[in-house]
Amino acid sequence: MTTGRRGRAGVRRLISELASVQHLGGPRVAARYGLSLLRHGAAVVSEGTLAAADAGMSGRVWTFRVDGRDIAFDGYSFGVAREIYGRRAYFAAAGFSVGPGDTVLDLGANAGIF
């Protein structure tokens, strides 16, 4: 019984992530990500993460539309961009946004994608 609930929760998470990618990148990017999820489905299930599907998006530049601005990034950083912008990980504070002319100093250890 627990496995069934976990499985349904996993499917809901995948649908949510795919919907987020479509919202950010549009239907073409979502379709490519969906194909990557299918192609790497065994690894996604066995590892319990989307890392393999995210890695499948490397090798080209992708664009997400975030708060009215286009953010272009190398596919190598697809998973980071998906989490930062799709889950709005850096936007947790109420009212936080980056406006025109603002400067962002990204001191993280990732790809400098924010």
Residues in the chain with pLDDT < 50?
1-2
pTM for the structure as a whole: 0.77
In 3-state terms, what secondary structure has residue 102? coil
CB 73 within 8 A of CB 111: yes
What pLDDT score does 1 carry? 42
CB 24 within 8 A of CB 73: no
The neighbouring-strand residues paired with 66 are 69
